Amino acid sequence: MLKPDIMRSSIAWPAFVAVSSAALRAGNAYPTFDALLLRAQIKLLKTLALLGAGNKAASENMYAVVGDAMRRANTGHTIGNAIVYECVRTIAAIFPNPALLQSGAHRLLAQHVALA
């Protein structure tokens, strides 16, 4: 079981953020649709949500990473919509950033309006 308090205060925290940043930002870097990578992105977002909950300093370090992951998600595929949804959940779980929440809501609503 992941213990957020231990992770936040340990030396592993900067390494975890660096690795997760690279993985989350790699979403559209691959020419083929790699479902395994995208599922790993969702797991990383869930972990970031757990680690950033109630921690303003940690959350501020996550805003750019989560925002990039949300912008790069390909909403033409179901898994891309799942990534956007998980980004919104992560933004709501960590110390909230109103601009990111608005951007996430816009991405989700724009997709549903386009389908209607």
What is the pLDDT of the chain when averaged over all its residues? 75
Structural domain boundaries in the chain = 4-115
Q: What percent of the chain has pLDDT over 90?
A: 4
Distance of CA 115 to the CA centre of its chain: 24
Give the number of other Cβ atoms within 10 Å of residue 30's Cβ: 10
Average pLDDT for residues 32-44, to the nearest whole number?
73
Average pLDDT for residues 14-30, to the nearest whole number?
58
What was the pLDDT predicted at 31? 45
Average pLDDT for residues 37-42, to the nearest whole number?
79
Which of 77, 5, 94 has the alpha carbon at shortest distance from 39? 77
Which residue would you say has higher pLDDT here, 113 or 59?
59
What was the pLDDT predicted at 32? 46
